[in-house]
Amino acid sequence: MSMKDRKSSNENGHLSPFNFGKLVDPHASWDMDQLGDVLHWIRQIVAVLCGLIWGAIPLVGGIWILIFLVLSSAIIYCYYAMMLKVDEEDFGGRGALLQEGLFASITLFLLTWTLVYSLGHF
């Protein structure tokens, strides 16, 4: 849905506020754009938190990248499959939902991890 479509749905031209209760409501209806945005931003938050933790501890090695990928994917899967009870087939299957925000989160995770590690331990 484009910005123009959102504005046209509201009489006075203002965007309607997001209903945060929908984030935990298993009976709420989702379209692909809404759910994709939510999954994307959850994954970005997980990336920053893991990057901060990994850099502060300090952890090194490629295994921690794999652990981040598994952890963030598990959180995303648990969120939409168990908490929201979303039918994966309605959104193109499991792979489509699990890939939302994946590459951006890897970049953000690596950037955060490297910065925190470098600033804190050198």
Q: Is 61 exposed, middle or buried (0-12, 13-18, 19+ CB in 10 A)?
A: exposed
Q: Mapping DSSP to helix (H, G, I), strand (E, B) and coil, where does residue 61 land? A: coil
Q: Is the peptide bond before 58 cis (omega within 30 degrees of 0)?
A: yes
Instruction: Scan for tokens 């031209």, then name that residue.
Output: 13
- pLDDT at res. 3: 42
- pLDDT at res. 44: 98
Specify the higher pLDDT residue, 1 or 25. Answer: 25
What's the predicted TM-score (pTM) here? 0.82
Q: What is the pLDDT averaged over residues 79-100?
A: 88
Confidence of residue 105 (pLDDT cuts 50, 70, 90): very high
Q: What is the pLDDT averaged over residues 85-105?
A: 88
- pLDDT at res. 73: 96
Specify the higher pLDDT residue, 41 or 29. Answer: 41
Using one digit for the tens of pLDDT, what is the confidence trace for 67-84? 999 999 999 999 999 999
Does the structure show a pLDDT above 70 at 40? yes
Does the structure show a pLDDT above 60 at 107? yes
